Every structure is written in C-alpha cells, then in structure tokens.
C-alpha cells in the first residue's frame, strides 16, 4: 500500500511494539513494523518519514544484542528511540549506557526540563490545575506520570544531544538532538499509564516528521480495492465465510472491488448457532448482493463426529472435513485462481527472536491445506490491519452491527460445547439453550460488555420434578466471561434476575433439560470453552 507519509517501527522485541504502530495509526498516519535487522535498502524502499526504535528485553551489552544497520542514522530522517531503542541510540552514537543502580518498572514521575518540541504539552493537564506548574516541575515538585520498564540507563549522552527530562533514578529520562532530529525516551509513551503519552507521539509524527493525517478507512478502502483489481485481473476469487468478523469484512471489501468475480462459500457444519447460516446468507446477499454458495454439509460432519468424545479429535475432524467440502464446492467454480482470507496484521508481523530474525509467519486457521491442494494464490486485503481497525472498516462499508460487534465463536462451533459425544439431538438441545442465553443477555443490554456468552451441554443427567412427574434429564451450564483478548478472562457478574430468566426459559422451553448452572470460573486456571 502506498501511503506517502509513513512511520516505520523497528522491532527489538518489546511487548509493546504493536501498540506503538496502533497509536500512530490512531493519528491517521500509516505505520508498519519491521524486524530490527531489515536491510537498509528495504528501509529506503519503505521510505518512512520517521523511524521509531522499539523497546526490547535486551541490554546493549549482551553478546547477541539486537542492533540495526547504523545507516539508519544517516538517512536524514527523524528517529525516536524508546527504552531499549534509547539505549541503543546512546550506545551507537557515542554515549554511555550502564546498569541502573535501581531498576525501574512501572510508574515513575518525570520532571520535564525542556518542553519545546517532543515533550510539548505533556504537562498540560497539570498546568491547567495549578497555572504556574511548569517551573515547579522543573524544580522537582512532582511530575508527569510515565511508565518505565528498564534495567539499564544513560550514563553519558552522545555528542549533539541534550537531556530534556529526568526522573529520580534516570538523570537522562529523555534526550534530544534537535539538529539531527534524533529523540529518545527512557519510558513508554505508547502505554495508557503514561500521562499524555499520545501527545509525545503526535509531536513526533506531525511536528518533527511532518506527516499529515491522511490514512483514513476511506482512503484504505479505495487504495485496497484498486490493488485487488490490479492483482486479480479477470480471474475469479473464492472465499470461505465462517460468520466471523474477519472473513465477512474481507469478503465485503473484495466484493466492492471485483463484484461477481468473487464467490463466497459458507459451510453449514451442523454445529453452528441457531439461525446462523441463514443470517449470514441474508445479510451478505441482501445487503451487499454477494455471490454466496451455502452448503448444508451438516449430515457429513455430524456422522463423522458421532462417536468422538475427545475435544482435539473433534477439532481435527471439523477442520479436515471443512477443507474437503470447501474443495469440492470450489472445484465446481470456473476460473478460480485466488483464495481470499481474512488474515490480520498481528498474524503476519515478522516476529523477532533474539538470536536473530525468525521471520516466522503464522499459518492461518484451517485453510493452509487449501492453497497446496488447489494451487491457489492468496488475496489477503486485511493483512495490514489490527482487529479494531477491521471493525472500523466494516462499519465504514455499512456492515450491520450484528456482524461487526458479535462475540467470537470458535471454529469447531458447538461441538466443543457438547461435552462428550456430539449427536444431532444433543446439538439441537444446545442450539436452543444457547439462543436463549444470547437473547436474554442482549435484552438485558449486557451483550457488548461481555466477551462471550454461551451454553454448554454437560454429559450427565440429574433428577428433577416437573408437574407431578419425576424427570431425569440433561444439565446446561451457562458461561459468560469478560475479557480483553481472550487470553485471560473473568466470569461475568450477571444480575441474578437475568440468570433467573435464562434458567427459567431454558428449562421451560428446551425439551430434555431440567437443570441450569452458572459457571463462576476465571481464566486461568479454567479456560473459556469447556473443551
Ligand atoms: P479458551 O477456551 O482457550 O478460548 O480459553 C480462548 C478463545 O479462543 C476461542 N477458541 C477457539 N477458536 N478454534 C477457534 O477458532 C478453536 O478450536 C477454539 N478453541 C477456543 C474461544 O471461543 C475463546 O474466544
């Protein structure tokens, strides 16, 4: 993609590297991450308006310390070093780095010594509260809260630099060589705990690098659509639609670019949520006039699953069978040369290993096999976007909130929520119970606060009494969790009233269930799914 004004982030392995790129894109300036050891030619070709050196776990004195090509300091473009990036700048440009007497992790108070360019406006909030605060800050009476994470510190700054801020433990917590436009920070401006951290990034990107805020979703759609047309020519493209956000947004974007040259295949594997297949078909067909083939392969999947209780075997069966069905259908189409996928940026960032560049790219879901067997080339229009940008893109293209804002749903679907063997009857019971959970969560206005809410069908029966009859029926567990990324999660504190309605409705409306329990486990030590 050719957005003229771009910021390059060189990755030295910090957990926050992706966050730096995201913060810059939030300012409508395009930013990409490359491993620290890319060649200078690749950097020249990328043609950034500025370079940010990320943090990282190494010390510049480590035997295998990651070091970039020194030429980056001769390109005549601004450079901002963050944490390890700062130490690396000091080390490379003639300063001295040493072990800190005291390591600094977490919160620290930054005293600003020069707020004329990079740190402009950083103390702003405080100044508003107590007008003459800046002189006080310089005198050391409290400062701006910043987030530190370092073991080394700058002992002597390189020639041409001057310190622009300090903390109690770091005499040079920020430094600048205004002449060459080199800047460095000991703390992390990209994390939310750093007060006014975004201001620093804005100052760097707009004032120092002279970028303009041109990277908008609208321009992304236009440019990407053109790129897709140029790449695909007159050939046809096939895309697997799962009902998830990424594949749907990718399909809508490609459809916008090439219309009927795209065919989407939606496979009903028999373990989808209630009404799912119909909803996806309706939305994409009616709303976007897309070419969709819906395949009801539920019998095939359910037959294969009928005697299986091991969760990992269930996953494998569903993955493999999906590939088979998809291939059969795709072969019926003419002139297909491309496979579209909703691969996202975090899946394609070349990760940094500290022994050298690993340049490893993760394989994506189940469809890897399709490329080999069918000799297709890839179209991945979202490979430059983060997840939240995909949602913005979807909304920009007019996709309904029902698709854009929906909870994640696992590829193996309800099969890993039917504990033990999956049968059509058990899938039916779970589908009904699950629909009630979601309906009531939405009705109570809780859907968007919750990461995932669903029902699980347990492999035990319990005794109950309905009317005057003794019953011996299934148990449904309700699971609802709050999470930011699915890596950790806490059980949602749903009001008792809502849980009461869910339980009542399931027992009354779903034949074969006489007990409902609520799962109150967090992750870790439990997982979100039961299998
Ligand atoms: P766990 O259960 O590991 O789930 O805490 C974390 C997130 O991953 C989803 N998940 C899956 N998604 N295929 C998928 O596409 C799978 O096999 C799978 N297993 C779990 C889960 O729904 C949750 O969002």
Q: Encode the chain (531 residues) as per-residue pLDDT tens digits.
A: 556 799 999 999 988 898 999 999 999 999 999 999 999 999 999 999 999 999 998 899 898 899 999 999 999 999 999 999 999 999 999 999 988 777 777 889 999 999 999 999 998 765 444 444 444 444 444 589 999 887 788 999 999 999 999 998 889 999 999 999 999 999 999 998 899 999 999 999 999 999 999 999 999 999 999 999 999 999 999 999 987 899 999 999 999 999 999 999 999 999 999 998 888 888 888 889 999 999 999 999 999 999 999 999 999 999 999 999 999 999 999 999 999 999 888 877 765 544 333 233 223 344 455 666 778 899 999 998 988 899 999 999 999 988 899 999 998 999 999 999 999 999 999 999 999 999 999 999 999 999 999 999 999 999 999 888 999 999 999 999 999 878 889 999 999 999 999 999 999 999 999 999 999 999 889 999 999
Whether 527 is covered by a domain: the verdict is no
226 & 326 share domain: yes
Query: Residue 55 is part of a domain; what is its CATH number?
Result: 3.40.50.880
95 & 26 share domain: yes
| Ligand 1 atom nearest 315 alpha carbon | 17
373 & 232 share domain: yes
Indicate the top mutation candidate among 272, 314, 317, 408 to test ligand 1's pocket, ranked by most ligand atoms within 8 A of CB.
408
| Ligand 1 atom nearest 452 alpha carbon | 24
Indicate the top mutation candidate among 240, 486, 491, 523 to test ligand 1's pocket, ranked by most ligand atoms within 8 A of CB.
486
| Ligand 1 atom nearest 483 alpha carbon | 24
Taking each helix axis as running N to C, give the angle between helix 298-305 and helix 311-331, from 0 to 180 degrees, rounded to the nearest 10: 150
pLDDT at 142: 58
Last residue of a domain, one of 404, 433, 450: 404
Q: Residue 194 C-alpha to ligand 1 middle, in angstroms? A: 32
Last residue of a domain, one of 178, 208, 238: 208
Torsion region of 185: left, alpha or beta (phi above 0 gives left; psi -120 to 50 gives alpha): beta
Whether 443 is covered by a domain: the verdict is yes
122 & 192 share domain: yes
Whether 528 is covered by a domain: the verdict is no
Residue 142 structural domain: 6-208
Three-state SS for 337?
A: strand
Neighbour count for residue 187 (Cβ, 10 Å): 30
Whether 417 is covered by a domain: the verdict is no
| Ligand 1 atom nearest 487 alpha carbon | 6
251 & 233 share domain: yes
Q: Dmax over Cα atoms in the chain, in whole Å?
A: 90
Q: Residue 247 C-alpha to ligand 1 middle, in angstroms? A: 17
Task: Characterize the bridge pairing of strands 174-177 and 162-166.
Answer: antiparallel
Q: Residue 39 C-alpha to ligand 1 middle, in angstroms? A: 37
Indicate the top mutation candidate among 310, 410, 413, 526 to test ligand 1's pocket, ranked by most ligand atoms within 8 A of CB.
410
- Of 5, 32, 83, 389, which residue is the catalytic one? 83
Query: Residue 443 is part of a domain; what is its CATH number?
Result: 3.30.300.10
Which residue's alpha carbon is at the smallest distance from atom 14 of ligand 1? 410
The 10 Å CB-count burial string (b at 16+, else e) for 7-35 is bbbbbbbbebbbbbbbbbbebbbbbbbbb
Contact by Cβ (8 Å): 114, 157: no
Which residue's alpha carbon is at the smallest distance from atom 3 of ligand 1? 527
Beta bridge partners of 6: 30
Query: What's the CA gap between 265 and 323, in Å, rounded?
Result: 11
Cα 291 to Cα 219, 229, 261, 298, 446, distances in angstroms: 25, 17, 9, 21, 34
- Of 188, 239, 276, 321, which residue is the catalytic one? 188
222 & 174 share domain: no
Whether 313 is covered by a domain: the verdict is yes
389 & 461 share domain: no
357 & 448 share domain: no
Q: Residue 71 C-alpha to ligand 1 middle, in angstroms? A: 44
Active site residue 294: no
10 & 128 share domain: yes
Q: Residue 486 C-alpha to ligand 1 middle, in angstroms? A: 8
pLDDT at 355: 35
**For residue 439, what are its two tokens?**
């309906």
Last residue of a domain, one of 377, 404, 431: 404
Whether 111 is covered by a domain: the verdict is yes
242 & 377 share domain: yes
Whether 529 is covered by a domain: the verdict is no
Name the residue with tokens 């059969």. 328
Beta bridge partners of 10: 34, 53
159 & 189 share domain: yes
Give ligand 1 pocket residues (Cβ under 6 A): 315, 408, 410-412, 452, 486, 523, 527-529
Three-state SS for 289?
A: coil
Indicate the top mutation candidate among 529, 530, 531 to test ligand 1's pocket, ranked by most ligand atoms within 8 A of CB.
529
Active site residue 188: yes
pLDDT at 224: 95
| Ligand 1 atom nearest 530 alpha carbon | 2
Query: What's the CA gap between 195 and 185, in Å, rounded?
Result: 14
Q: Residue 529 C-alpha to ligand 1 middle, in angstroms? A: 6
- Of 5, 32, 104, 190, which residue is the catalytic one? 190
223 & 203 share domain: no
What's the total number of domains in the chain?
A: 3
Whether 531 is covered by a domain: the verdict is no
Q: Residue 454 C-alpha to ligand 1 middle, in angstroms? A: 13
Q: Residue 65 C-alpha to ligand 1 middle, in angstroms? A: 36
Cis amide linkage into residue 309, ω under 30° from 0 = no
Which residue's alpha carbon is at the smallest distance from atom 16 of ligand 1? 410
Q: Among residues 193, 158, 182, which one has the least CA distance to residue 60?
A: 158
Query: What's the CA gap between 282 and 9, in Å, rounded?
Result: 42
Query: Residue 237 is part of a domain; what is its CATH number?
Result: 3.40.50.620
Beta bridge partners of 478: 455, 518
């Amino acid at each position: 993609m050719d957005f003229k004004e771009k910021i390059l982030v060189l990755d030295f392995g910090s957990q926050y590297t992706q966050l730096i790129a995201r913060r810059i894109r939030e300012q409508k300036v395009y930013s990409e991450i490359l491993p620290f050891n890319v060649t200078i030619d690749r950097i020249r070709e990328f043609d950034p308006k500025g370079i940010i050196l990320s943090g990282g776990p190494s010390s510049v004195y480590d035997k295998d310390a990651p070091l970039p090509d020194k030429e980056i300091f001769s390109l005549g473009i601004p450079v901002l070093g963050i944490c390890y990036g700062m130490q690396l700048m000091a080390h490379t440009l003639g300063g001295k780095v040493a072990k800190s007497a005291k390591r600094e992790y977490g919160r620290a108070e930054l005293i600003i010594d020069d707020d004329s360019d990079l740190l402009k406006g950083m103390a702003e909030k405080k100044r508003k509260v107590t007008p003459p605060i800046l002189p006080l800050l310089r005198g050391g009476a409290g400062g701006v809260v910043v987030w530190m994470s370092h073991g080394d510190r700058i002992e002597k700054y390189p020639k041409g630099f001057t310190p622009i801020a300090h903390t109690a433990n770091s005499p040079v917590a920020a430094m600048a060589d205004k002449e060459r436009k080199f800047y460095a920070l000991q703390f992390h401006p990209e994390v939310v705990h750093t007060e006014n951290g975004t201001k620093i990034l804005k100052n760097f990107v707009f004032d120092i690098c002279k970028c303009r805020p041109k990277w908008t979703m609208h321009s992304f759609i236009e440019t990407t659509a053109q790129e897709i047309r140029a790449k695909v020519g007159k050939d046809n493209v096939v895309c697997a639609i799962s009902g998830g956000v990424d594949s749907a947004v990718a399909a809508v974007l490609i459809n916008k670019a090439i219309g009927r040259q795209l065919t989407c295949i939606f496979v009903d594997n028999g373990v989808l949520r209630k009404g799912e297949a119909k909803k996806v078909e309706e939305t994409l067909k009616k709303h976007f006039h897309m070419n969709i083939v819906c395949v009801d392969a539920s019998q095939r999947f359910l037959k294969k699953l009928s005697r299986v209780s091991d969760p990992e075997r269930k996953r494998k069966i569903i993955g493999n069978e999906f590939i088979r069905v998809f291939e059969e259908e795709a072969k019926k189409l003419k002139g297909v040369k491309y496979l579209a996928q909703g691969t996202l940026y975090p899946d394609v960032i070349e990760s940094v290993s500290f022994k050298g560049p690993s340049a490893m790219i993760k394989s994506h879901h189940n469809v890897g096999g399709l490329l080999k067997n069918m000799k297709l080339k890839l179209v991945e229009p979202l490979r430059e976007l983060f997840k939240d940008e995909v949602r913005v893109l979807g909304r920009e293209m007019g996709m309904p909130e029902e698709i854009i804002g929906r909870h994640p749903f696992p590829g193996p679907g309800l099969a890993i929520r039917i504990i033990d063997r999956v049968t059509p009857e058990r899938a039916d019971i779970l589908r009904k119970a699950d629909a009630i959970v979601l309906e009531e969560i939405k009705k109570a206005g809780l859907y968007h606060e919750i990461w995932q809410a669903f029902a699980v069908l347990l492999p035990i029966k319990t005794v109950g009494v309905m009317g005057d009859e003794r019953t011996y029926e299934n148990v449904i567990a309700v699971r609802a969790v709050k999470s930011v990324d699915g890596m950790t999660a806490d059980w949602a504190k749903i009001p008792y009233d809502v849980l009461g309605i869910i339980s009542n409705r399931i027992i009354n409306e779903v034949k074969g269930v006489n007990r409902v329990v609520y799962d109150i486990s967090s992750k870790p030590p439990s997982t979100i799914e039961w299998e």
